[in-house]
Structure formats: structure tokens, C-alpha cells
Structure 1
Amino acid sequence: MNLLDKALAPLFPGMVAERLRARNVIMAFEAATVTRTHKAKKQPRSADASLQRTLKSLREQCRKLDEDHDIVTGLFDRLEERVVGGPGIAVEPIPLGYDGSVHVEFAAAIKALWGEWSLKPEASGELTRPQMERLVCRTWLRDGEALAQKLMGKVPGYEHLHGVPFALELLEPDYLPVEYTDYSTGIVQGIERNAWRRVRAYHLLKNHPGDLTGNFSQNTKRVPVEQMIHIAHRKRIGQNRGQPLLHAVLIRLADIKDYEESERVAARISAALAMYIKKGMPEDFVPPANGEVRAERTFPIAPGIVIDTLLPGEDVGMIESNRPNPFLEGFRNVQLKAVAAGSRSTYSSVARSYDGTYSAQRQELVEGQLGYDLLQHEFIDYWCRPVYRDWLRMAIMSGQLVVPTGVDPRTVYGAFYQGPVMPWINPVHEATAWKLLVEAGFADEAEVVRSRQRNPSELKASRTAEVAANRKDGLVFSSDYYHQIYGKNQPNDDEKQRAADAATGVDKPDQ
């Protein structure tokens, strides 16, 4: 209270209270006030407390929609394609020598061994690395998290499928019980942390709680954090477990599914042609004679038919059909736009509608790619980089790879991770733009190759072999510029310079 309020309070307490109330209303945020039209729902609980009772329900709803709802299935299919892609996340090793250049031989050895391990990277040996990554990505986005136990070195009862003793046992998040909490030992929702919230171990169920055996036991085992990979979709600071990507649009998706189902049923009912006979006034009704049995009447439908068997006062009517609903598509599209906005996707990808203009499609593709890139980088940070580094460490420790003396030890684990990139809408324009950037020095050849999801070193080796084979067979193409100009395999330095100047349009005077 100010001085005036304090002076008036003993004499006029009601007026002072009204003044204070009015002052608080003026100073408060309008959005913080609960009104008839604004309920102002609040979330005061921590991230862990918020998910404690809702995580299992959200996860199970998303799984059911992925099983039964075509829109949700297509949404996750597209996220798999844009985050991981068909060939998976490509890993390009870039170990450096002490002079700062890439050690090509060691990088090639790593790449060859990594490709062999990628054929059967997980414990069962049923999935390739791209298949494993797509499955983990789908589980991560749909369920909110995914787990994997690292099988390194000698593991009792397990035989490794490769010379590198490293494999991954994939686990659904159900193996990490959200109900298991023991604050005395630092365990919250199955994850054990120290006083600084650093993860120390995971407490996993020995069996899936929903498997066919009907095992309801909650026996757990403690797995150190060094042997686990936990990829989680988190939305709040300090959040222990991940939440499904569709958590904010679940109700809308369920409503769309129910509404479309109702419209389909209504359309089927309307498609069944039904007619009725209007009897007319009571005095027009002629009762049957004694013993007369009147059979039910039917009218054959045919073009130009004339119905002349009606009784006095009767009329033929038809039940009108107002289906399909002409407003269904517009309503559905608006709802799908909201679904796309809440799931880091794009409307065209969710609805499979590509009828916009070129500019609109490109703008949507560019903005949508930002969301895909974010999820892709999270997947690389959570999953791909730890997997590659642990595999490489085990490959070196087991003797499958020997680090050459010329490699800088600090760069052994260096690698470039490449996922799906934004597709080209107009290949001619895109290729021209890249050509100008390379010629101006604002991009390099490797960047162009990676933009098309290719490995630069592999492409270079393939091109070298291809050019050599073409020259041997007497074939000359525009890509072999030197051979076009000089008609021989190796031009000298002066010829190379003149050819380069001619290719870039530089006209140098004679020296």
C-alpha cells in the first residue's frame, strides 16, 4: 500500500481494498487472469512429475494410431525417409595426419571394416545398419525414446557375428519402467543419477512387460551407463524420459480418424438407394377384401419406367442422399495442417497433396527441411556418433584396425555424418547454382557430392576408374576435358593451366 492507502485504511477499509484490487487488475497480465472464456490451464509440476502418469498412455496411443491410422503411418514413414533415409546415416571417416591432411589409407580401412560390420550390427543379426537406424528412429519419434545395450568384448552366452566384438541389443522403452523410483538411491523412472544429475546406470526389466508369456514380474537388472544408449525426445530442462513426438496432436488425430469413419459410414448408408410409398389420407385407404392377402410391392428401376400400380392416394418418394459431404475435404485439410505444425512435418507430406505452385512448394520444402535437419542432427548426436565411436574403439582394441604412425591420435575418431538432404525441385537451377558456387570458391566439390547424398572419396575413385576405362576404349565425354582438348592421358603442367584458364573463361596474355 502507498501512503494514501495506509492513511485511509483505518477509516475506509472497503474502499482501500477496492483500490488495491483495481491496481492489481491493471498491473497483471491479461493472459494470467482466469475468465469465462479463458480457463488459463497451468502446469506447475516438474517434467518428470508431468510424465509420471501420462507417459505410458501417450506412448500406447501413438503405437495404436501407427497401427490403425493411415495418416499417422504415412507421417512416420516420411519422417523415416527424411531423417534416416534408405541408405541410413552415412559415416565418412576423416582421420588426419600431423600435417592436417586426411590420411586416405587409414580412412579407407575404417570405411571397409565399417561397411562389413553394417551388414549385421545388432545382436540378432536380422537387420542391416540402415534398417536398424530406421527402426530406432521410428521408435524414438513414436514412443518418445529408444534404448540399446552395447555388447562389447566377451559376453556370456553371446557369439559376435564379426571380427569386431561389438553389437547392439535393441530395446523398446517399455524395458525401462517409468514406475521404478527410489529417491534414496537416486533412481527416478528407472534411471539412476548422481547428485549432479549425471546418469550412472539404467535399471531394465528382464522381460518385456507386454510380451506373450504373460510374465508380470518386475525383476530388473542394473546396466551401467557405459553399456547403454538412450535416445530420448525431450521438451523440458531436466526431463528424465522422452515424450512422443505426437503428444500435442493426439486428440486432433483421434478426432480426424473418428470423423472420417463416421463420414464413410454415412456415405455407405446414403449409397444404398431407398424408396418409400406415401399412403395419403385415411379415407383413401382401401382395406383388403375378406381373405385377400396383399404381397409386398416392389418397383423395378429402369430408365423411363412408368409406375402405374399405385393405389388411390399413394405416392412414391425417395430418401435423399447428402453424402459425400462437400465440406469434408476442406475441414480435413485444415486439421492436417495443424497436425503437420505440431509434428515437425509439412502439410504436403502429411496429406500427400502436391498441388501448390512452384514457389509455394519450394518454400514449404525449405522450411520443412529445417525441421528434418534438426531431428537428423539429434539422431546423429544421440545414436550415430556414439555407435560409430564405440565400434571404432573396439575395432582398434581387438586388433582389427591398426592406427598408422602418421595419424594424429586426436583425430582418429573424426568423421563426417551425412543423412538425407533436401531434394532438388528444379535440377537445372540447382546444378547451375552449385556450379557457380564451386567456380567462385564459395563451395567445394565434396560439398556438392554430399548434397546429393554421395561419398566424395567413393565418387572420386569411381570417376577415376570410369575415365581410365573410357580412355582405354577410345570413348571421349565432356566430363574428360583434358582428353577432349589434347587427346592423350596426361597433359603437362602448361597444358593443364591453359585448359583450366579456357574452362573458366580466363584470357591470359602470352608471356
Structure 2
Amino acid sequence: MAGLTATVARERLQALIPTDHAVIAAEARHDQTRRELDSARRVQAVVHEATRPSRSRKMAIDHGSGDRIVGLDAKQLRDSARALCRDHDVARTVLSVLVQNVVGSGIDVIPAPRRRGGKVDRGLAQDLRDAWDLWWDRPEVTWQHDFGKSQQLLFGGCARDGESFFQDLTGRIPYLDHGTEVPFSIEMLEADLIPLDFNDEARNIRQGVERNAWGRPVAWHVYKQHPGDGLYWKAETKRVPAEFICQLANIDRIHQVRGLSMFAPVMNRLRDIQDYEDSERIAAKVAASLCAQIIKGDASGYGSSKDPVTGQALEAAAYRALTMVPGMIGDDLLPGEQIEILDSKRPNPNVAVYINDQLRRVAGGTSTSHSSVSKNYDGTYSAQRQELVEQWGAYAMLGEFFTARTMRPIWTRFVQACLLARIVRLPRGWTQRELMAAIFVRPQMPWIDPLKEALARGEMEDRGWQAPQQNILLSGNDPEEVLRLREDWRDQTAGQSTPEGTNPDDTRASRRSLARALALKEPE
């Protein structure tokens, strides 16, 4: 039995040895593969120098999707941006420059209703224009702002807070007086009225926005009162369909719904500028309070501080002060004394250079021009125009964004309200889209040298590269109004002698001669 047991054990052992060898070989191959993968990861991680960790440079961390970042930082960024624009002159200047160059006094609309391939119906255009001019004065529910100011508030809120909203109100609304015969108004809403902390996964609500499966907003949940009103505020919301709410938001990432402040990249720099200026001002005030010091002479000339007989301390000498006035002569100095004027090293001559360099970076981070933010317009015509041309592209992008998100929806609802109130009638065979055709007039790039700009535009018009209406629009005027004023002037001056140089043919010839002379002239 013992022999049989040993034989069985030997057979079993011989059967298991190949299996153990196979397991060991498999583990060895797995370890080799793992070492190769780890080596590949290490090699991949150090291909770019920016990905190599170091003791002095921390690696960036991805904090998640755009919506998650908004949920973490949007409110604090909004509060900080408001504080900066309220108390910091540079931040206020940046906001003013953005509003001034993107919406200006207000983006206007010139109606141009026409059939496809047809001409503009002047009668319809004039009816829409008259209604638009009337509505411009009272476009919003409070009657406190005209439409130009409303545009400034909407875009300013978007740039500072990251987003702003307005609600379309068309037709009869309980307790609402539209203020004009056009039954249409807007209600402007600050970003605070859409709660960032309102989330409901069951209804697919995130940050106050109810979305469908594709991520498109279908409704907004709006506070009934502003959360900053104080003690009487109640956290009650109402559901407003997305078709009635228009959002103007500064969005940087795909699928991001709520906006972030345009001041986010430059907030620390703005605070540093403010702290630096404050310290320099304090140093200058202290320096202005310092004047001079009296260097004492021989100590024997001031006597002893103790009575040589009694040993009691003598009374201190009276405090001496020299009143510094222009032309004074220090004739009350004791022997050996002299006056030394204190050099405070203030004002610091490098302050302007440092601040100007910081403002250049602030302008770059906020899509504004450095000369407008710093109010420094030094440089040649070519340098100034180069900056203006490059920067105007950023203003044009923001202007088109504002037009697409604000002006076109408002104009569409305005025309629909005019049809609803029978202020205008849709001609037979026309579509509403054809009736809504219009030109949106944004702020135009200013002229640095009006003569050169006018000559260039006139030359393009003469060569057929631009129409007169386009040149008029580029100057910020309404072609219809310019034509009417010219006809009115012609009627007023009929029968009178025409001043020299006002004949269009003579002016065109003179312009061409001057343009050729300037073209042949060597640049400065």
C-alpha cells in the first residue's frame, strides 16, 4: 500500500510539473508586458517638457466639464468682477471700452423687406421703421431704459457677470402695459435670477436649466424675486419655456450652458495693479510729509542734561521747528548744525512703465485695445491703425455674437407683434422671413485720419468695389436718412449759387488727384 501510494504521488507530481512551468512562464510574460507598458507610459509622459513634473512647477489638473467648472466658480467670479468694476478704475474702463465698441449707443435696425431677388418695399420698410422708432423709447417692462441703454446693460452684464438674460413678452399680458402700440416688451434678467445650485437629475435640470436628451435647453427655472433683495426674498422659482428666454453668455467650452465672467483671466492682475498703486500712493504721501532734518553739532554746545550741583535732570530744551517757505534762510541754527533735505525717492519714475506693461496684458486678456484701456495714444498713424485694425476683429466677433443672440430674436418678435397688432400687413405671397429682412448697424471702426479713410472709401466706390450705401453704413449713418437730408438740402439751396468744391464730379476728380499724390509719397 505504501509502494502504491508513493507511485501515485510520483505520477501526480510529474503531471503537475508542466502545469507549474506553464504558469511560471505566463507570469513572466505578464510581468514583461507590464514593465514594457510602464516604460511606454513613462516615455510618453516626458515627450513634452510641459508634462514633466518638477519641484517648482505643478501640473495642471482637469476639474471636469464646463458645467462642473461653472458650478464651482461662476458665483464667486461674478461677485469678484462686480466688486472690481465697482471700485477699480481700470476694470471699469475695460467694461466701458467693451460696451462702447460692441454696442455703442445701440445697434440699430434698418428694415429692408423684399421678395427673393426683388427690390426693397419702401412703404413696408417705412411702416416698420416708424413703429421701431416708437418702440425704441420704451422697449422693456419698467420703462426706465430706452433700447440703446437696454443693450448696454445686457452686454455689460454678459461681460462682467458671464451672462445675462431677457424674456420676450408678446401680446396681452396681465397687469403689463407695453407702453407703445406694439404689443411687445422685454424683461431683462440678471444672472442671479437663474439659480446655479438648482439641480434635479430626475427632470434633467442642472444649474437651473432644464434640458432634453440632446442637451438643448427646453426651460429655465427663474427666481420670482432677486436673491439679493434682502430679508423678504423667498427661494421660489417659476418654469419658463426656453422659447421665451434668450441667454447672452460668455461660453468657452462645448456643452457648457452657463457663462463665466470675461474678467476671470485678469482678476489677479487687476488686484495686483490696485495694490501696487495703493502702496505707491501711500509712499508718496509719506514722502510728502517728510522735509528735512537738523544734523547736530558739538554736544558741548547744548549743555548738560543734569544739574552739575544737585544732579537733578534739567528740563528738555524746547522743540525746535523750522517753517519751510520759499526763499527762507536758516539763521537760527546753532554752531555746528546743518540742515539736510531728505530724499524720499518719490515719486517712483518706474511706476508708469510697470503699470503700462500690466495694462497691456489686461487688454489682451479681455479682448480690448491697450491704447483704449491705458488712455495712451502715442505712436505713428501706421502703428495706431495697425492696433485698431487687429483689435476691431475682436469687437466685430463680439458684435456679431450680440446681434445673433439678442438683436435678431428681438427683431423677429417685434415684426411678429406688428403683424399681430395689424400695424403692418403681410403682402400676398410674402413669407414672414421676407418681411423680417433687415440690416443691423453695429458701431463702426473709427477714423484715425479722416482724410485718408475718406479717400480710400471714395476710391473703392469709384472703382465699383463698394456701393454708396455701404460707405454710408460704415460711417454709422442710415442711407435712407442721408438721401432724404441731401434732397432736402438740394431743395433749400435751389436757385442759389453752389459753393466751390461741392460739385460731386469736381470733388471726385480732386479726390483722385490727391489719392495719387498720397500713393506716390514715400511713407514716413
Q: TM-score when scaled to structure 2?
A: 0.84
Partners of 1:413 and 1:82 lie apart in 2 by: 26
Partners of 1:503 and 1:297 lie apart in 2 by: 76
Equivalent residue in structure 2 for 1:293, among 303, 311, 315: 315
Alignment of 1:450-489 (within 5 A): 450-473=473-496, 475=498, 478-479=501-502
Partners of 1:285 and 1:61 lie apart in 2 by: 63
Q: Name the residue aligned to 1:422.
A: 445
Cα offset, 1:17, TM superposition: 8.4
Letter of the aligned partner of 1:225 in structure 2? A
Q: Name the residue aligned to 2:13.
A: none
Partners of 2:142 and 2:433 lie apart in 1 by: 34
Structure 2 residue 187 is matched with structure 1 residue 162: no
Equivalent residue in structure 1 for 2:371, among 327, 344, 348: 348
Decide whether the 8 Å contact of 1:233 with 1:245 is kept in 2: yes
Decide whether the 8 Å contact of 1:98 with 1:406 is kept in 2: no
Letter of the aligned partner of 2:100 in structure 1? E
Equivalent residue in structure 1 for 2:388, among 340, 359, 365: 365
Structure 2 residue 360 is matched with structure 1 residue 337: yes
Equivalent residue in structure 1 for 2:51, among 32, 46, 57: 32
Kindly, what percent of the aligned residue pairs are identical?
31
Letter of the aligned partner of 1:157 in structure 2? Y
Partners of 2:52 and 2:113 lie apart in 1 by: 59
Structure 2 residue 288 is matched with structure 1 residue 271: yes
Structure 2 residue 329 is matched with structure 1 residue 304: yes
Partners of 2:428 and 2:503 lie apart in 1 by: 37
List per-residue Cα deviations over 1:394-447 (Å, max 9, x = no partner): 111121111233755441111111111111112111111111111111111111
Aligned Cα root-mean-square deviation (Å): 3.1
**Which range moved further: 129-138 or 396-405?**
396-405
Letter of the aligned partner of 1:235 in structure 2? D
Structure 2 residue 258 is matched with structure 1 residue 241: yes
Inter-CA distance 235–503: structure 2 relative to 1 (3 Å threshold): closer
Decide whether the 8 Å contact of 1:150 with 1:167 is kept in 2: yes
Decide whether the 8 Å contact of 1:199 with 1:225 is kept in 2: yes
Letter of the aligned partner of 1:322 in structure 2? K
Superposition misfits of 4+ residues, deviation over 6 angstroms: 15-20, 279-285, 500-505
List per-residue Cα deviations over 1:76-124 (Å, max 9, x = no partner): 11111111112x1011111113651111111111111101100111111
Partners of 2:512 and 2:313 lie apart in 1 by: 107
Equivalent residue in structure 1 for 2:241, among 197, 212, 224: 224
Equivalent residue in structure 2 for 1:56, among 67, 75, 78: 75
Q: Name the residue aligned to 1:382.
A: 405
SS in 2 for 1:53: helix
List per-residue Cα deviations over 1:350-384 (Å, max 9, x = no partner): 10100122221111111110111111111101111
Q: Which has the larger radius of gyration?
A: 2
Decide whether the 8 Å contact of 2:225 with 2:233 is kept in 1: no
Alignment of 1:9-20 (within 5 A): 10=28
Q: Name the residue aligned to 1:253.
A: 270
Inter-CA distance 306–152: structure 2 relative to 1 (3 Å threshold): same
Q: Name the residue aligned to 1:402.
A: 425
Q: Name the residue aligned to 2:140.
A: 122
Cα offset, 1:470, TM superposition: 1.6
Inter-CA distance 10–455: structure 2 relative to 1 (3 Å threshold): same
Decide whether the 8 Å contact of 2:182 with 2:418 is kept in 1: yes
Letter of the aligned partner of 1:41 in structure 2? A
Partners of 1:394 and 1:218 lie apart in 2 by: 33
Letter of the aligned partner of 1:223 in structure 2? V
Cα offset, 1:315, TM superposition: 6.5
Inter-CA distance 161–409: structure 2 relative to 1 (3 Å threshold): closer
Letter of the aligned partner of 2:362 in structure 1? V
- Please, which runs of 5 or more residues in structure 2 have no aligned partner? 1-23, 514-524
Inter-CA distance 172–307: structure 2 relative to 1 (3 Å threshold): same
Structure 2 residue 100 is matched with structure 1 residue 77: no
Partners of 2:166 and 2:432 lie apart in 1 by: 28
What is the count of residue pairs matched by the alignment?
Answer: 479
Q: Name the residue aligned to 1:487.
A: none
List per-residue Cα deviations over 1:247-283 (Å, max 9, x = no partner): 1100110111111111101110111024445668999
Inter-CA distance 408–230: structure 2 relative to 1 (3 Å threshold): closer
Cα offset, 1:158, TM superposition: 1.3
Inter-CA distance 221–80: structure 2 relative to 1 (3 Å threshold): same
Q: Name the residue aligned to 1:496.
A: none
Partners of 2:319 and 2:220 lie apart in 1 by: 74
Letter of the aligned partner of 1:418 in structure 2? V
Structure 2 residue 350 is matched with structure 1 residue 327: yes
Partners of 1:375 and 1:134 lie apart in 2 by: 13
Letter of the aligned partner of 1:201 in structure 2? A
Letter of the aligned partner of 2:330 in structure 1? I
Cα offset, 1:318, TM superposition: 5.1
Partners of 2:192 and 2:101 lie apart in 1 by: 26
Structure 2 residue 175 is matched with structure 1 residue 152: no
